[in-house]
A and B are shown apart, each in its own frame.
Chain A
């Protein structure tokens, strides 16, 4: 296990270095002069020069890269050019909205997907299965921002049950949760459809195994074998998907946060990109990539500690 851990750790560090190089190249090298890019076409040359100076752009590329990386490692993500506050504070503030939203969407998608997936697998090939799988196909095909518009039309404008957009802050938790409900539903629907399909196929795969037949032969009912044996084993691929979905929900809510004017991480990146605030973009993208790489690393470790076969090289 130690050797495996060491190998995975080296690969984790290599991935992070490679990712940081790609992000640095994309943001600081490809656009040419970042200062001129940030200020736009009509900027006066001395304003550009002043910004170049304050951003440290007159240093060599390797020095700038090292400065950025060491800053990130010590929690100094730089000062946002448009908001004039530390990027770390901005990210922390936005996470108080994005994290609960992602969690709500994840809980909701699991709550929808589990019964559908189990029911479809238990009644495989019958009308219930066909209806459930048809519904999931539809769920995958619906663009979530369009679904969000329909939700607003029905539940916010027609029935006035939820606000059409905005976020009142956490001072009143009930109102805050109400504001996050429609966005969470819009985010959860396609995720639930994918999850239900994965769960169904994992369950069907498990139900075909010999030990399930043994359990049935020993007198366990269909329902008992399903819940006690099959579901537990089928949860592994489901957990993998859930892990991936969580990091997706954190960053992938960009469009939904824009539809509902929710001040989350996604809207922060989108606004930073459109306002050409490269300092915010660079750091936030790196944080998101770091989160994804770390989640993958931890998932791999969890599997390896549970299943010794995964530790041995191919």
Chain B
């Protein structure tokens, strides 16, 4: 296994494991406030120190991982769930009005400044993790539609697809049975990239107060709360940031590594 792919897999797995373990165990209870213990530097008792309410930062990061990962993952699900069928349809009806309509619709979504619209959605419908998911998910749809269409278009010209057509299979059946399995690699790679972008977007939205609301911890909001204390206790801002960097880096390395591993042409080019 390539070192970058291995590192990506380890970092991503660590974030996932932290989120899953936090469901049953965290080193400290994050709902208990111990003001006497506030802003403690990292120590044997509190590996990453404590925040301004005396809560253990390691425990907060573990629980925050759950928010970040689930928001980004569901947003990828929305993007793939709607974008892939749209892309498959566009490719099956290539150069037809339906293809044109889908692709122009995609261009339209791309023309909107994503962060502005995400902020607008959360502002109109109220800040919450669910609205953050919707806001991030909407912008994943055109990405998946484009990747799917591009991958599917080249397949539609191949002989075995023609053979399937001659055998009497309809466009929908060919798309599901023959096209989809052959572009799965592309979609997995794109999925990892959108997943990492989703984590950054969720952190940004939570940072400006429009993501998950208290008491649900999230990495972005931990950073926002740390901002006023950064001179007193830099560790409060350091660890949530490192958690985001490590997870996003891990997913990006995983995505790149998977692309290289799954595409034999890239393996030779390096």
Same assembly: yes
What is the interface of chain A mostly: helix, strand, loop, or mixed? helix
Determine if A140 and B248 form an interchain contact, defined as CB atoms under 8 angstroms apart.
Answer: yes
Interface size class of A (residues with CB under 8 A): 35 or more
Chain B, residue nearest A253 (CB):
B115
Determine if A145 and B223 form an interchain contact, defined as CB atoms under 8 angstroms apart.
Answer: yes
Q: Does A45 sit within 8 A of B, measured CB to CB?
A: no
B121 CB, min distance to chain A CBs, angstroms:
8
Q: Provide the bound-state CA to CA distance between A163 and B78, in Å.
A: 42
Determine if B208 and A270 form an interchain contact, defined as CB atoms under 8 angstroms apart.
Answer: yes
Chain B, residue nearest A157 (CB):
B231
Query: Which A residues are CB-close (under 8 A) to B203?
Result: 143
Q: Provide the bound-state CA to CA distance between A285 and B112, in Å.
A: 8
Q: Does A174 sit within 8 A of B, measured CB to CB?
A: no
- Given A251-B113, A289-B112: A138 and B124 within 8 A (CB)? no
Q: Does B85 sit within 8 A of A, measured CB to CB?
A: no
Q: Does A85 sit within 8 A of B, measured CB to CB?
A: no
- Given A141-B252, A255-B115: A281 and B231 within 8 A (CB)? no
Q: Does A225 sit within 8 A of B, measured CB to CB?
A: no
Determine if B107 and A146 form an interchain contact, defined as CB atoms under 8 angstroms apart.
Answer: no
Determine if A255 and B208 form an interchain contact, defined as CB atoms under 8 angstroms apart.
Answer: yes
Contact of B104 among A15, A30, A141, A259 (CB under 8 A): A15
Chain A, residue nearest B8 (CB):
A137
Determine if B115 and A252 form an interchain contact, defined as CB atoms under 8 angstroms apart.
Answer: yes
B115, B116, B241, B249: residue with the most chain A Cβ atoms closer than 10 Å:
B116
Query: Which A residues are CB-close (under 8 A) to B248?
Result: 140-141, 143
Determine if A18 and B108 form an interchain contact, defined as CB atoms under 8 angstroms apart.
Answer: yes
A143, A150, A157: residue with the most chain B Cβ atoms closer than 10 Å:
A143
Determine if A137 and B111 form an interchain contact, defined as CB atoms under 8 angstroms apart.
Answer: no
Query: Which B residues are CB-close (under 8 A) to A11?
Result: 104
Determine if A296 and B111 form an interchain contact, defined as CB atoms under 8 angstroms apart.
Answer: yes
Q: Provide the bound-state CA to CA distance between A274 and B119, in Å.
A: 9
B104, B113, B208: residue with the most chain A Cβ atoms closer than 10 Å:
B113
Interface size class of B (residues with CB under 8 A): 35 or more
Determine if A137 and B234 form an interchain contact, defined as CB atoms under 8 angstroms apart.
Answer: no
Q: Provide the bound-state CA to CA distance between A2 and B96, in Å.
A: 23
Determine if B249 and A248 form an interchain contact, defined as CB atoms under 8 angstroms apart.
Answer: no
Q: Mark A267-286, 1 if CB is under 8 A from B, else 0.
A: 00110011010000100010
Interface positions, chain B 91-136, Cβ under 8 Å from A, are 95, 104, 107-108, 110-113, 115-117, 119-120, 123-124
A11, A137, A252: residue with the most chain B Cβ atoms closer than 10 Å:
A137
Q: Provide the bound-state CA to CA distance between A281 and B112, in Å.
A: 13
Q: Mark B191-202, 1 if CB is under 8 A from A, else 0.
A: 000001000100
Q: Provide the bound-state CA to CA distance between A269 and B115, in Å.
A: 11
B171 CB, min distance to chain A CBs, angstroms:
19
Determine if A288 and B116 form an interchain contact, defined as CB atoms under 8 angstroms apart.
Answer: yes
A274 CB, min distance to chain B CBs, angstroms:
7
Determine if A273 and B111 form an interchain contact, defined as CB atoms under 8 angstroms apart.
Answer: no
Q: Provide the bound-state CA to CA distance between A273 and B115, in Å.
A: 12
Query: Which B residues are CB-close (under 8 A) to A124?
Result: 270
Q: Mark A10-22, 1 if CB is under 8 A from B, else 0.
A: 0100110011001
Contact of A149 among B111, B116, B227, B270 (CB under 8 A): B227
Q: Does B253 sit within 8 A of A, measured CB to CB?
A: yes
Q: Provide the bound-state CA to CA distance between A102 and B95, in Å.
A: 38
Determine if B111 and A143 form an interchain contact, defined as CB atoms under 8 angstroms apart.
Answer: no
Q: Mark A125-162, 1 if CB is under 8 A from B, else 0.
A: 10000000000011011110110011011000100000
Q: Does B80 sit within 8 A of A, measured CB to CB?
A: no
Determine if B119 and A270 form an interchain contact, defined as CB atoms under 8 angstroms apart.
Answer: yes
Q: Provide the bound-state CA to CA distance between A289 and B116, in Å.
A: 10
Q: Provide the bound-state CA to CA distance between A228 and B186, in Å.
A: 35
Determine if B253 and A137 form an interchain contact, defined as CB atoms under 8 angstroms apart.
Answer: yes
Q: Does A258 sit within 8 A of B, measured CB to CB?
A: yes
Determine if A145 and B111 form an interchain contact, defined as CB atoms under 8 angstroms apart.
Answer: no
- Given A137-B252, A255-B204, A270-B208: A142 and B245 within 8 A (CB)? yes
Determine if B104 and A14 form an interchain contact, defined as CB atoms under 8 angstroms apart.
Answer: yes
Chain A, residue nearest B108 (CB):
A18
- Given A125-B270, A143-B244, A146-B237: A153 and B231 within 8 A (CB)? yes
Determine if B123 and A273 form an interchain contact, defined as CB atoms under 8 angstroms apart.
Answer: yes
Contact of B113 among A18, A141, A252 (CB under 8 A): A252
Q: Provide the bound-state CA to CA distance between A314 and B200, in Å.
A: 36
Interface positions, chain A 43-88, Cβ under 8 Å from B, are none
Q: Provide the bound-state CA to CA distance between A292 and B112, in Å.
A: 8
Q: Does A31 sit within 8 A of B, measured CB to CB?
A: yes
B20 CB, min distance to chain A CBs, angstroms:
22
Query: Which B residues are CB-close (under 8 A) to A259?
Result: 227
Which are the 5 A-B pairs with shortest beta-carbon distances? A251-B113, A141-B249, A146-B241, A141-B248, A273-B123
* CB-defined A-B contacts under 8 Å, sample of 27: A15-B104, A15-B111, A125-B270, A140-B252, A141-B196, A142-B245, A143-B200, A143-B245, A145-B223, A146-B223, A146-B237, A146-B241, A146-B244, A149-B223, A149-B237, A252-B115, A254-B116, A254-B208, A259-B227, A270-B208, A273-B120, A274-B123, A276-B123, A289-B111, A289-B113, A292-B111, A292-B112
Besides A137-B249, A296-B111, 18 new A-B residue pairs in contact (Cβ under 8 A), listed by A number: A15-B111, A18-B104, A19-B112, A22-B108, A26-B124, A37-B124, A137-B252, A141-B244, A143-B204, A143-B241, A143-B244, A254-B208, A258-B208, A269-B116, A281-B120, A285-B120, A292-B112, A292-B113
